[in-house]
Structure 1
Amino acid sequence: MPWHPVYGGAPWGVPCAGVTAAQWRASKLGVMTAFPPVPGPPSAQNIELIEALREDFIEAGFTNDGVAELLGAEAVAALDREQVVPGQLRVQSELSQQMPSAEADSTGGPAAEAETLSQSQRCAVLTALWLVAVPVTYHQVQKALPRTGVEGLRQLGLAVLGPEAVWPACDLRPYLVETRAGSRDLWVTSDLSSHQVTGALPKDHVLGVGQASLTLAGITHRRPVQTALDIGTGCGIQLLHLLDHAEHVTGTDLSPRALDFARFNLLLNAPALELDPRNLEDRVELLEGSLLEPVAGRTFDLVVSNPPFVITPRQAGETESDRYTYRDGGREGDALMQELIAGLPAVLNPSGTAQMLGNWESSADEAWDARPRSWVSQAGLSAWFIQRDEQTPAEYAETWLRDASEERSIQDYRRRYGQYIADFASRGVQQIGFGLIWLQKPAEQQEDTTPWLRFEQLTGEIQQPLGPVIGQTVQRALAAHTDEAGVLQKALHTPETITEERYQRFGAEHPEVIIARQGTGLRRSRPISSAAAGFLAAADGEFTAAQLITAVCSLTETEEDTLTQEVLDLYIEGYVEGYVEQ
């Protein structure tokens, strides 16, 4: 499923609760001030008001494409680099055209009342308010959202009102998804990001659209299912995707605050998601609780999760309120991933699948996949782990201390950094891996079959969305896993996206290294023998694999058994990797 955020995070500071006149004046001078505490999540009580807000957004063109058109390619690219100034300049230019100044229209005089905003100006006001931190007045917001109004935003908990300005109470951004029926414009609310508040993030922070959630959405195979479960749903981003191909979805989260955001987002996007806003429970269920506890005794066709897998040093006497609930599951080391995988067979239907992100530890004397391999072996699941990155304990500590903006206090940063290093050292951890996980429970008739396992490290560039690629490759790999001999009777062909690279020293008669490279999807590359290269060159779908093996061996003096094994490996891994297609 394609996924399209309109922009990334942005390094601006904006107030997040009641704003004083002094703060308003300081903001106009570009002066950072101390901001009040983060307010509560948006209110889902007034469905009619939420519907009015959605209509205002559509009419103002406050959509992914609308904002991109307003800002232009350069400003959007700058926002992806966390540079907000180009977007601010573009918005200020748009607002300055045929619109009273912030000072003039705050008086509410005749000129202000008569002013009519164009669609691009309405979009500019909303972009200023929620995306690029340009001050907007009551009048500007009122004109941009005529159905909702300033008071409506306050009632919904989406904005806070200062003496002269309206400020965002939460993050709100357009979100474009591709569904079976085509593109759909959605909107996602979440807590203000670390760049929008002073100090470290609050412990009950609710994440919005981020790289991890986009990655999970992109890798999920969107096969039609009856039931789907999102573990650790947060503000509900995965639910927005699951509702396109699941009849009923369930989202669980330990944080009631996160579930409030998820409920609001479902209501805000109800028509596009084919939901009855007054009967959400017909297709959606939101349950409070840790991991799989809220769904004990129930089973699902598909489970997805961006779980709170971040490895965090445990402290004596700590409580749930001491942890960042959006990322820290409260377990030692990578025990949360082990616990979650161990529990999946109980909640998966036969042939049901799970797709997740995760972390795993490794010591100096073990392979990176040692612990993941033991987890899935004990659970009896087929599994595919793709390690996308690995970090040292120091690198890991730096990453996650920055994530919560804990570096803003040097004393706290130094203390927490030391705790991370000591914690990893206590278990002999040398590397922490991060990656993508696909799991499947065996079908009832295959319970005695050895599970299919694959563990690989791919740190290069990939092409999202990977969901279709993953779905196709695991289907082929599982088929080959149960009937390798049948592969030799298939007529195979090499797809056009596979290219060949040959390397040899100057003056050498033959290439010393031949590489088969995949141009799409996971974009792997692997060395192959010259005989296998001949096989791939001849594989055009006309002859069976067995016939081609015999022909290639007669020309290259290669042993048939040797090439047969390589072709079988190419078929199994190539079916997985896409080097040969049926």
Structure 2
Amino acid sequence: MPSPPLPQPEPALCLALAADLRAARFHGEDVRAAWGELADDAIARGLRRPAERALADRDDPIAVLARLLVLGMPQSLSQVESALPRTTAAGLVALGLAEVSADGIRPLAVVRPQPYVDDTGEGGWWVASDLDEAALGGPLPEDHVLGVGGASLTLAGLQLPTPARRGLDVGTGCGIQALRARRNVAEVVATDISERALRFTRLNALLNSVDGIEPRRGSMFSPVAGEQFDRIASNPPFVITPRAEGVPEYEYRDGGMIGDDLVAEFVRSVGSHLTPGGVAQLLGNWETRPGAVGLDRVRDWVAQSPVPLDAWVVERETLDPLSYAELWIRDGGTLPGSPEFGRLIDAWLEDFAGRHVEGVGFGYILLRRPMAGGPTLARYERVGTPPSGAPLGPHLAEALSAHDRLTALADGDLEASVLTVAPDVSEARHHLPGSESPSVIELRQGGGFGRVIEVDPALAALVGACDGDLAVGPLVAAIAELLEVDGAALREDLLPRIRELIFTGFLRFS
């Protein structure tokens, strides 16, 4: 499918469009209210007909804009002129977001409200990107610029909320990570191989009156050779794609390398672009092969970095090769059951078989360049999707801070520390019928990763007693006396587990 013209991010027209969108109350909650909960749920599943029906008899500005800019439906010239009095239909065309057609003003892009929540509260952006497969009615062009999806929101929520001076967004796409980074970072360089993506990034920065974002064109770290940053974020084109004739190579998800080589190259290379104390965060896929579990392969990539790095890698889920292929073929707009779908499945499975791939992991990678000395954090774990849905960035920042404090804390100093239980922690005890003592004691975390940890009576008693009053040492001694066990042995057993509970956010320093 041919690509539409490039967006034209003209500052005055972007300001006019923002003013029109604001006047029309074109925000997420207002658009959802306009078409209703059922239609909103349908849109999340790629179905737009319920929303079309809900808005069919309306020509007020929010209905016109929702059809034009969210659903990608043509609208009459008079409707667009009424909904966008400052921008006008001609202005929308000049921005490269629409064109004049026989059926009125036909959109060439979507501009969708995107709410966000961070440590300062709730807010929202308008984010422009290419028309999706529902609006196009078929497969996407290979230079398609993706809008804000689940992976984008995941990485945006992972970004640390602590202030920094310079940031880098590698593979910026529509610019959502750069917008998110600017909430805490003074200046951000946003790179991409796609001129189309960089135009959307610039347009979205202007549309939301966000300065301090500098688009640069190029692959990986080539546009920032010799430069260092305090924060690096990347939702790279990590999708494992067969290098075979006839398989679409979508720029937004395919980096042109074999297997998971792009993520491996990023991990090996990023350290030299981090300032001391600087943090890189990215999403990625990694293959599991015979004798080489995915997380272990990521560990090897980190070890191959010429710059020593702290690492915290979370594998959120794994897919078998067939499920992985189906996911990404559907993502490109090819429908199951079609001959093309079957042909692409064969290409994917043949590619995986050539490397003996047994499964593909998806997750988050956090890398940090130590301020001095060697790495102190090497954590590779499997954790499911957090149940709360809240941004993980604050939790990650607190965990890193706790880790640094614990690293400098001798056991004697930990015993002298006073701790409190985090407010989101609860305890669950499971009893067999007729038994007085619990067979299982669990600590449950409401925030963060939503971890559930099984503990023994001694650790449960200590956590229950951490109310900001007594220090750890006296608590351990009292529990040893209560349970009639050796105090030194209990201390040796509990202190490492207390450290783990502090890092994971169950316990906090008072």
- TM-score, normalised to structure 2's length? 0.94
Distance, in Å, in 2 between the alignment partners of 1:77 and 1:426 is 40
Q: Deviations over 1:114-145 (max 9, x none)?
A: xxxxxxx1111111212235552111111111
In structure 2, what residue type is equivalent to 1:382? D
| CA distance 1:263–1:505, shift in 2 (3 Å) | same
User: By how many angstroms is 1:159 displaced?
Assistant: 1.2
Q: Deviations over 1:35-62 (max 9, x none)?
A: x733123212x32222222211111111
Q: Which stretch of structure 1 is more off in the superposition, 373-382 or 258-267? A: 373-382
Aligned positions of 1:209-228 closer than 5 A: 209-228=148-167
Structure of larger gyration radius: 1
Aligned positions of 1:4-153 closer than 5 A: 37-44=2-9, 46-95=10-59, 121-132=60-71, 135-153=74-92
In structure 2, what residue type is equivalent to 1:373? R
Secondary structure in structure 1 of the residue aligned to 2:507: coil
In structure 1, what residue type is equivalent to 2:285? N
Distance, in Å, in 1 between the alignment partners of 2:110 and 2:490 is 57
In structure 2, what residue type is equivalent to 1:80? A
Contact 1:180 1:244 in 2 (8 A): no
The correspondence for 1:191, drawn from 100, 107, 130, is 130
Contact 1:461 1:523 in 2 (8 A): yes
Distance, in Å, in 2 between the alignment partners of 1:52 and 1:236 is 20
The correspondence for 1:510, drawn from 412, 420, 437, is 437
Distance, in Å, in 2 between the alignment partners of 1:387 and 1:324 is 24
Contact 1:484 1:568 in 2 (8 A): no
In structure 2, what residue type is equivalent to 1:400? W
Distance, in Å, in 2 between the alignment partners of 1:461 and 1:183 is 20
| CA distance 1:406–1:81, shift in 2 (3 Å) | closer
Aligned residue number for residue 334 of structure 1: 260
Distance, in Å, in 2 between the alignment partners of 1:497 and 1:59 is 40
Aligned residue number for residue 528 of structure 1: 455
Distance, in Å, in 2 between the alignment partners of 1:453 and 1:299 is 23
The correspondence for 1:168, drawn from 86, 103, 107, is 107
Query: Is 1:343 aligned to residue 308 of structure 2?
Result: no
Aligned residue number for residue 250 of structure 2: 324
The correspondence for 2:349, drawn from 410, 413, 421, is 421
User: By how many angstroms is 1:507 displaced?
Assistant: 2.9
Q: Which stretch of structure 1 is more off in the superposition, 142-151 or 500-509? A: 500-509
In structure 1, what residue type is equivalent to 2:392? L
Secondary structure in structure 2 of the residue aligned to 1:53: helix
- Unaligned stretches of 5+ residues in structure 1: 1-35, 96-120, 276-282
User: By how many angstroms is 1:339 displaced?
Assistant: 0.8
Secondary structure in structure 2 of the residue aligned to 1:521: coil
The correspondence for 1:287, drawn from 205, 209, 216, is 216
Aligned residue number for residue 253 of structure 1: 192
Aligned residue number for residue 298 of structure 2: 372
Q: Deviations over 1:279-333 (max 9, x none)?
A: xxxx2221111111111100000000001111112238x9xx9621111111111
User: By how many angstroms is 1:180 displaced?
Assistant: 7.0
Query: Is 1:233 aligned to residue 197 of structure 2?
Result: no
Q: Deviations over 1:130-163 (max 9, x none)?
A: 2235552111111111122222211211112222
In structure 1, what residue type is equivalent to 2:256? G
Distance, in Å, in 1 between the alignment partners of 2:107 and 2:146 is 16
Secondary structure in structure 1 of the residue aligned to 2:508: coil
Q: Deviations over 1:522-573 (max 9, x none)?
A: 1100111111111111111111111111110111123334433443333332
User: By how many angstroms is 1:228 displaced?
Assistant: 0.2
Secondary structure in structure 1 of the residue aligned to 2:360: strand
Aligned residue number for residue 13 of structure 1: none
Secondary structure in structure 1 of the residue aligned to 2:276: strand
Distance, in Å, in 2 between the alignment partners of 1:263 and 1:224 is 23
Contact 2:173 2:192 in 1 (8 A): yes
Query: Is 1:308 aligned to residue 223 of structure 2?
Result: no
Contact 1:452 1:478 in 2 (8 A): no
- Unaligned stretches of 5+ residues in structure 2: none
Q: Deviations over 1:65-84 (max 9, x none)?
A: 33233233443333334332
| CA distance 1:402–1:53, shift in 2 (3 Å) | same
| CA distance 1:542–1:286, shift in 2 (3 Å) | same
Secondary structure in structure 1 of the residue aligned to 2:116: strand
Query: Is 1:381 aligned to residue 319 of structure 2?
Result: no
Secondary structure in structure 2 of the residue aligned to 1:37: coil
RMSD: 2.1
Distance, in Å, in 2 between the alignment partners of 1:323 and 1:132 is 25
Distance, in Å, in 2 between the alignment partners of 1:314 and 1:563 is 57
Q: Deviations over 1:91-121 (max 9, x none)?
A: 22333xxxxxxxxxxxxxxxxxxxxxxxxx1
Secondary structure in structure 2 of the residue aligned to 1:536: helix
Secondary structure in structure 2 of the residue aligned to 1:323: coil
- TM-score, normalised to structure 1's length? 0.82
Contact 1:227 1:247 in 2 (8 A): yes
Secondary structure in structure 1 of the residue aligned to 2:115: strand
The correspondence for 1:244, drawn from 161, 168, 183, is 183
Q: Which stretch of structure 1 is more off in the superposition, 408-417 or 477-486? A: 408-417
Query: Is 1:478 aligned to residue 404 of structure 2?
Result: yes
Secondary structure in structure 1 of the residue aligned to 2:314: strand
Distance, in Å, in 2 between the alignment partners of 1:505 and 1:223 is 46
User: By how many angstroms is 1:208 displaced?
Assistant: 0.7
Identical positions, percent: 36
Contact 2:220 2:266 in 1 (8 A): yes
User: By how many angstroms is 1:235 displaced?
Assistant: 1.0
Query: Is 1:267 aligned to residue 206 of structure 2?
Result: yes
User: By how many angstroms is 1:375 displaced?
Assistant: 1.6
In structure 2, what residue type is equivalent to 1:300? F
| CA distance 1:437–1:403, shift in 2 (3 Å) | same
Secondary structure in structure 1 of the residue aligned to 2:370: coil
Distance, in Å, in 2 between the alignment partners of 1:455 and 1:173 is 36
Q: Deviations over 1:385-429 (max 9, x none)?
A: 111110011111111111112347833322321222122222222
